[in-house]
Each structure stands twice: as C-alpha cells, then as structure tokens.
Structure 1
Amino acid sequence: MLPGLFVKRWLFISLVGILLVVLGLAITARLTPVFFIVKFINAAIDTLANAIPRYVSGPLALLIGIFLLAWGQRRVLSSITRVLMPDGDEELVDVLITHHKLNKGPRLLTVGGGTGLSTLLRGLKKYSANITAVVTVADDGGSSGRLRREHGVLPPGDIRNCLAALSDEEKLMTELFQYRFEVGEGLSGHSFGNLFLTAMSDITGDLDKAIAASSKVLAVRGRVLPATLDNVMLWAEMEDGRRIEGESNIPEAGGTIVKVGCVPENPIALPQVIADIQKADFIIIGPGSLYTSIIPNLLVPGILEAIANRRAPCVYVCNIMAQPGETDGYTVSDHVRAIDRVAQTRLFDVVLAQKNPPSAKAIEKYAASGSNFIEVDREELGALGCPLVLANIMKENRDGTVKHDSDKLAGVLMRWYNRQ
C-alpha cells in the first residue's frame, strides 16, 4: 500500500478485470447478471443477518475479508521474493521502493578517470540510477598499457573500475571483475576485468559495445562511456622545454607541466557522451589526476564544447593531495587555472575542496613521497571569480593514506545540487 510502488493501481485494474470476466460470462450465458447478482447478495445478507446480528456479522465479514486479502497478497509477494531474492537479505518491498526512487533520480554526469572517479560513483549510485560516467582512454601503463600495445584495444582499466563501482550485482561478481592475477606467464599483472573487456571488444567490434555487454553482466546502475573511441596518446610540454609522450611517462618525468595535448589532435567524441551531457541535470568534473585523468577528457573538442554550452549546474571536485610529478606544490586555484587554460573558459560553477587538512601522520607520510595537502587559497580563487564550497569529504585510513569518502562526497554534492 506504500505510495510510489505502482502496485495499487494494478491491483485495482485486476479487480476490474475479474468483474468484467464474470459479467462477460453472465452475458454470454444469456443471463441478466445485475439482477441475479443483486438477488444473490440480498439473499446471502438476509440469511447471515437472521443467523447472526448485523452488528456482529458485518464487522466479522469485513475483518475476514481484509485478513484473506492481506494474507493472499503476502503469500504472493513471499513466493516472488523467494524466486527473485533467494538469499533473503532484503524485503522485496524495500527493493521496489529503492528501484523506483533511484530511477526517478536526477540525470548525473561525471567526467574523469582513475580511482577518484570510481570513488565518487560508489556514493552517487545511492542517489540516482541515471548516472553517466565519461572516462578517459589515454591510459598506457600497467595492465591497460600492455593490452593496448599487444591487442590494439583502448585501455580498459579506468572503465573496469567504474563498472565495478556502479555494479549492483553480488559482491562475488564484482570481486571477480577486479581480480588481478599475480602469477602466470603472460597473465601476471592483468586483472580479470581488463581481459574480459578486451575479449568482449574483439567479439563485439569496439569498446563501447563491450562496456554495454559487461554492464549487463554486472547489473550496472547507470552507464560508463569512453570519452572517445580514437586511439589517443597523451603528451605534455615541460617548463624546461622537454616534450614527454605517454600518459604513464608524464608523472615520472619530473618538472613542471606547462601544456598538455594528445595525438590525434582532435579526437572524435562518442555521440552518446554528447547527448548525455546535453540532457544532464548535474555535471561533476573530477576528482582525479589533473593532467592524466581529467584534462584528457577535455582535449576531446566535442566534450569540451558540450560542457561549455551546458544548461546544468557543474562542479569541479579538487583533489585532496597533490599528484607527484603532476601537481607538486599546487593549490586549489592552480587546479582551476590549469582547467581554464585548456578550456579557454570557465567550465564549472563552483569548486569543491577539502576543508581540513589530514593528520600530521598523513602529512608526513605523503611528504616522504613528494606530495602535499592541496591548500585552499581563498584570495586567489576570489581573484579568479571562482566560487568555493568547503566541506569535510575526506577519509583517512589507519596507515595514513587519505582519499575522498564516497558517501560524504556524494552527500555534499547532492545537497549543493538540490539547493540550485
């Protein structure tokens, strides 16, 4: 009986259908159904009233009828639940409520890559099932790089992480997709999900179709789309004049990045990405490595133009800690300037940054690897005309590592969106 389940209307239609079936049978049998039905009901009521007083028989019949109706419906739902949800972890009614609520959620679109984007998606999927994750395909390191070089496929690593983050399937299936082989000639270092996506790319003909097939296997809530199907190679110009080619080589080069680009120079955006940007209710850029996860998506002219001409509100989520080799010593305003230089315009309405720095233990741990907490420089952001939202969206682990907290980050973003 809860509102929003779309059950009551179908129960009512079913009852109307039963009445029409009875009426149709009566008419077909050349009876006068209204007369006989009314006559039968009157006779039944008179008989019951003569045997038992009306003030007893009436409420008794009503209670028995309600009991039978409730018992019958409960048994029907119980039978359906045992088939659809054999583990019995949740009530079917809770699943239905969640399903309808999420399907009515806003159209969210995220842009990025790496672990930052998958962290965000784990939180956002609790607010809406209408999520599109636009993922960079510039990765050329690790398992993705090997598959890219050996099989000529687009790098599946970031896409695999996002599919796993949005998965609504059993935990075992997600763990299988993320499983990484540690031994075996040719297998060591590869994840099962990367191999699966590579195989599906060969079977279906392109990565886009492979992702769609994988999404069905994992029961993905939303969809993951590559920014482009072109074979993109990232490059960066350093302050000392060096040109570094390859996404995985850029952080290792050392020095200050002054410009990034890609080959081909103008990769073609996936048409579905452009359509989803135009239909989005809320666009989120980041979090993720500035030069190797976020900006590569903006190097696709179609995506850049679509975001620049958007109607939906847009937020940039700044990283918590600097990326060694990419954003050493950067502040929040430095991140904003880097995106402004690439876009030649302001793409977002506000920047979201971590309010409080991590513990001294975490600061010391990251300093040893050349990283630092990204300071919030309010005056510089004010000079840039960039509104700022500060919130505690960080999760610090016992070993001193920090990352965005999926639930806190998604909660802050959705509260901001709801105020717009």
Structure 2
Amino acid sequence: MSISPLQQAIRKIKSEQRKWATMSKYTPKQVNRWFKWLSPGLFVKRWLLISATGLILTILGLAIWIKLTPINRFLEFTSKLLETFTTYIPYYISGPLALFLGLFLLLWGQSRTVGSITEAFNPEGDEQLVDRLLAHRRLNRGAKIVALGGGTGLSTLLRGLKQYSANITAIVTVADDGGSSGRLRREIGVLPPGDIRNCVAALADEEKLLTELFQYRFQAGDGLTGHSFGNLFLTAMTDITGDLEQAIATSSKVLAVRGKVLPATLSDMRLWAELSDGRLIEGESNITSAKGQILHMGCTPADPPAVPAAIRAIEEAEYIIIGPGSLYTSVIPNLLVPDIREALGKVDVPRIYVCNIMTQPGETEGYTVADHIEAIDRICGKRLFDAVLVQRNPPSPYALKSYAEENCHPVFLNREDVANLGCRVVLANVMDENPTTGRVRHDPQRLAKVLLRWYHKS
C-alpha cells in the first residue's frame, strides 16, 4: 500500500519531534516560563514588537541607502540555495525541518539570554526573573494602604499586607521609652527606633534574615548589653542623615523594603495618663506598669507636628487600617498628633480598626470591643472607623487559663453597643495560637487576607 507524501511528512515530523523531545533539556515547566514572558502587564510584548520593527526598518533603510545591490545579490543567492536544497530534500520534509529548527534556535537563544540576565540579578537562582517581574507588577498595582500603630501588632500586620501591595505606608508611634529604645533616647537624644525597626524588618524582602539581625541583642560589652543591632543601626543612620525620617528612607533603600515606614512625628513625644485613682503617670513604660484604669491620655508637647509625608500618605490613601496593638501605648499615641487625626477624619476611604484579641493589664482590663472604639473616638472627637475586625473563635481552654493567671481575657464583642457607635463588625478567625506557650497573636497571612477581602467588598 503506497503512502502519500503528506503522510510521509507527518511521520517524519513526528519522528523529529520524538528525537528532539529526548535530546532537548527543555521541560514543560521551562516552556511554561517562556510563555510567562507574554503575560499581560509585563510590557514585554510591545517592546519585542517595537524592537523587531526597528530592526526591519534599519535593514530596509540601509538597503535603500546602498541602492539595494547587496540585498538583491543576497536574495538571488538565497533563492538558488533554497532551490538546490529542495531538489535533494522534498519540500514537505525540508519545510517542517527548517521551521522546527528555527523555532528551536529562537527559543534556545531567548532562554539563554533570559537565563544570563536572571543569573546576574539573582545569582542564587531560587526564583525566576519572570516570576519576580510578575510579582513586582502585581504588588505595584496594589491598593494604597496606610497602617497606623506600633509595637509588635503593626509589624505583624505589615508582614501579611506586603504580599498584596507594595504601596504601603506604615505610620509608627515614637512614644516608646522603655528597653533599648528608652536607653538610646535618654543617653543619645534620638527618637525611639524600636517599633520602627520592627516595621522596617517586616516590610523587607529578606524578612527572616533581617528580622534575626535587627532583633539580635548584645549579651556583652560596655554599654552594648541589652541593645538590639537594629536600634543601633537606625541610631547611627539618624546621626549620619540628620533625622529619623531620612534615616528610615535611606535604610529602606538599602534593605529593599516594600513600601514606606514613617514616624508619626519628629518631636520628642512623651506620653502621660490620668488614672481613675487620681494619679498622673508620665512615660509610656510607666503607664502600663502603674496597673490603673486610664481616664485621660495626652502627650508632651501637647500638639506635636506630624511628619508631612505621613499626612500626604493619608490624603492619598485608598484604605486605612489602625491596629492591632496596645490601645493606649501603640494605637492612640498616633492619634495624639492633631494633624494625623484631622487627616484621618477627612478622608473618604474605607477605614477599619483591628481590635486586640485579649485585654491587656494596666491598659484595657475589662474592656469590650465598644470600649476600645469609644476610647479612640474620645481622642479624635468623632467617629473614625467604618468597621472593626474582631476575632471570631476564642483561644483554647489551655490558653485561656494561662491568660487568666495574668488577669487577661478575650475582648468581649457587644454587638449592640458597637452598632450604636456606627461601626460594622467584621468577624473572622485571624488568630495564631502557640500550642506550647498558649500565647495568641494575629496571624499575618490570615489577617491580611481578611482585611483585603473586606476592602474589595467595601
């Protein structure tokens, strides 16, 4: 039975495909990476087309300039070569062979080019360049988010948010006066860098390594014992650049930080609190240790000026998140800056408060969710939030018992009182519990996912 030329060609092509599949080092995963370069938003296809058009125009212009003589000769030579080639190898074999060979060389050349670029920018080879570009485009198109707070709560929040947007501005309190930050503040006269250090580390690309480095505390050395490396780093940068804001900006560039970290004010801000028993307590660390019920809160100087960049960030924000963190020593201190609370009250964008999971001795003993909101509204003189995020399920009995020994309890949600304050309630499971210690914290990924979901629905 005779075989038609078409069948012969198909068989020949299949044979060549099997041979190349065996010999080629290119796996389906690698081919998939090639096609990623054609993904929308990378701005690669248009530049490839423009480059190809430029090459064709360059060749055409050169040909016209030299009166086409070399082009004509080249075309005649190519025509004769192809005619001779097809004489000995039929067109239905030579055509597909040339086609597949051309595609093979094209893909091989492009992959080697991209591989060389990737190796230069990412020598460890743990991530493809195209994946980095796709992530970069996605993050840069993310919402403009402003997050306010301090302590570990804000850094936890930022750790999750940076997976969704690179347009994040963290506004951090500078009222801390305890630990390493307090010592640097008293001895050198710098603003406390501790909370800022945590936020910078949380937003860095190499977060794990940088966090370990910044959190490292010296165990020996005259004057070094107890200081963290991150605090000393930011203190040195402040001395070099002239102020804390510039120190943070410079450090963020060096450490590849996604977004911005800004102090609420550059003033030497010190907290004071009036307790229900009449005591007047000064100093952030002293307020918590006083173990009293806070009636009023303020700061010295009374009206510290805000960092202008922080006000611009609030005015340009598409989404504002406050908390989580210690209510009176991490969240409210930002609102004691008049310009900040006025700017927050003016913007017409979704605003949400992330309520703490547990009450805190010396600050919020016996507080409900509504009590947290009322404390913030008293400082601002108006309702500030559209919604409040509350943990849905309570901690385990083991954790509750452990916290009860410290006079801490889950923050009770009194829905009716919250509704009367004009706030919507967002209930979600955003808690991470350590099974060994029973300590509970907000989970960065769950928290960010819930917050972004609510934002897109608002």
Q: Fold match, TM over 0.5?
A: yes
CA contact under 8 A between 1:278 and 1:311: conserved in structure 2?
A: no
The equivalent residue for 1:245 is 282
Report how many aligned residue pairs link the two structures: 420
1:352 aligns with 2:389: yes
The equivalent residue for 1:417 is 455
Q: Aligned in 2, Cα 1:41/1:275: closer, same or farther, shift over 3 Å?
A: farther
Q: What's the CA shift string for 1:255-301, capped at 9, x where partnerless?
A: 11011111111111111111111111111000011011111101111
The equivalent residue for 1:366 is 403
The equivalent residue for 1:183 is 220
CA contact under 8 A between 1:225 and 1:273: conserved in structure 2?
A: yes
* Counterpart Cα distance in 2 of 1:274 and 1:361: 44
1:146 aligns with 2:183: yes
The equivalent residue for 2:120 is 83
The equivalent residue for 2:156 is 119
The equivalent residue for 2:324 is 287
Task: Give the Å deviation of 1:383.
Answer: 2.3
Q: Aligned in 2, Cα 1:305/1:170: closer, same or farther, shift over 3 Å?
A: closer
The equivalent residue for 2:295 is 258
The equivalent residue for 2:106 is 69
CA contact under 8 A between 1:109 and 1:133: conserved in structure 2?
A: yes
Q: What's the CA shift string for 1:356-402, capped at 9, x where partnerless?
A: 11011111111111211111111211222221010000000021000
CA contact under 8 A between 2:201 and 2:210: conserved in structure 1?
A: no
The alignment partner of 1:346 has SS state of: coil
Task: Give the Å deviation of 1:49.
Answer: 3.8
The equivalent residue for 2:439 is 401
Q: Aligned in 2, Cα 1:293/1:34: closer, same or farther, shift over 3 Å?
A: same
CA contact under 8 A between 1:136 and 1:226: conserved in structure 2?
A: yes
Unaligned runs of 5+ in 1: none
Given the two structures, how large is their TM-score scaled by the length of structure 2? 0.88
- Summarize the alignment of residues 183-262 of structure 1 with structure 2, pairs less than 5 Å apart: 183-262=220-299
What letter corresponds to residue 115 of structure 1 in structure 2?
Answer: T
The equivalent residue for 2:95 is 58
CA contact under 8 A between 1:322 and 1:373: conserved in structure 2?
A: yes
The equivalent residue for 1:332 is 369
Task: Give the Å deviation of 1:37.
Answer: 6.7
* Counterpart Cα distance in 2 of 1:392 and 1:41: 70
* Counterpart Cα distance in 1 of 2:43 and 2:71: 31
- Give the one of 337, 347, 353 matched to 1:316: 353
Given the two structures, how large is their TM-score scaled by the length of structure 1? 0.96
- Greater shift in the superposed pair: 304-313 or 90-99: 90-99
The equivalent residue for 1:107 is 144
| Identical columns (%) | 63
- Greater shift in the superposed pair: 365-374 or 409-418: 365-374
Unaligned runs of 5+ in 2: 1-37
CA contact under 8 A between 2:217 and 2:227: conserved in structure 1?
A: yes
The alignment partner of 1:248 has SS state of: helix
* Counterpart Cα distance in 2 of 1:28 and 1:130: 51
CA RMSD of aligned residues (A): 1.7
What letter corresponds to residue 407 of structure 1 in structure 2?
Answer: Q
* Counterpart Cα distance in 1 of 2:137 and 2:121: 17
The alignment partner of 2:46 has SS state of: helix
* Counterpart Cα distance in 2 of 1:352 and 1:9: 44
